[in-house]
A and B are shown apart, each in its own frame.
Chain A
Amino acid sequence: MSKPKTHTLRVHATTANIAAVRDFVASHAEAHGFNTEDIDRIRLAVDEAYTNVIKHAYDFDESQWVSIEVKTDPRTIHVVISDSGRSFNPDGYQEPNIEERIKMRKRGGVGVFLIHKLMDEVEYRKQGSLNEIVLTKHL
């Protein structure tokens, strides 16, 4: 049985890095044998989680760092995105009413909803001063 593998990317919290972050994860998902549809789902979920860190954990402070760790075992990919900014409280999260948000001319607020739709499991953890979101997809 093959050992779990880990690949890590550490980048500044800037939207200029979104494409690099999602491509980094997608390349490992592809190498691990996920099909195109699942790779697209993982790519989008990672984009949404990384974008939320930039906006909500760090308030667009580009000097801050984000770590993206891809762990694979034979049937699964786990993507761990860590930051040291403001924590997200999943208990306070409500599913968005898109029609209502459009009427109120509000954009966004749908990233977390998408992440949960796209991934098999989503976990929020606190490791010391770090916030972690763990996105899991099974083959």
Chain B
Amino acid sequence: MSQFLIRSRNSGDLDILEIDGELDAHTATQLEDAFKALIGRNRTRIVVNCAELQYISSAGLGVFMAYIEDVRGTGGDIKLSNLSPKVYNVFDLLGFPALYDILDDETEAVAKFSS
């Protein structure tokens, strides 16, 4: 069965989600619930650190598609960092790099919020 977990932490007014494992139609609701919980608390400055993300399918990409407008509408954003080349390729196939901030590492993603 697909293995996936999320570790979350704060960095000032930012929330960092470290996602680990396989993000597919079986596990996507976990990320969706995490985004919903943050948005519900008006925490919309979010960095998703994908260093331990081994795999993503369109069900996983769909979670990023579904919430980015809500988050940006409140002045926040979802920025992604630390994607492996394999995971980046899937984002790239759908043209995500033109629509989302995708940074090499978490520090850059955090800094981008203040630039």
Residues of A within 8 A of B (CB): 15-16, 18-20, 40, 43-44, 47-48, 51, 54-55, 98-99, 101-103, 105-108, 110-111, 113-114, 117-118
Contacts and interface: CB of A to CB of B under 8 A. Distances in A.
B23 to A, nearest CB: 11
Contact of B1 (A16, A51, A54, A113): A16
B67 to A, nearest CB: 8
A43 B90 CA distance: 12
Contact of A102 (B58, B59, B69, B90): B69
A108 B96 CA distance: 14
B63 A19 contact: no
CB-CB nearest 3 A-B residue pairs: A107-B62, A15-B26, A107-B66
A19 B66 contact: no
Q: Is the interface of B mostly helix, strand, loop or mixed?
A: helix
Nearest to B98: A99
Contact of A98 (B3, B89, B95): B95
16 contacts: A15-B2, A15-B24, A18-B2, A40-B86, A43-B55, A47-B24, A51-B24, A55-B25, A98-B95, A99-B95, A105-B67, A107-B59, A107-B66, A110-B94, A111-B57, A113-B94
A50 B89 CA distance: 21
B70 to A, nearest CB: 7
Nearest to A43: B55
Given A15-B24, A108-B59, 5 more contacts: A16-B1, A19-B1, A19-B22, A105-B69, A107-B62
Given A18-B24, A99-B99, A102-B99, A44 B90 contact: yes
B14 interface: no
A98 B58 CA distance: 12
Nearest to A16: B1
A104 to B, nearest CB: 8
Contacts of B67: 105
Contacts of B59: 51, 107-108
B6 interface: no
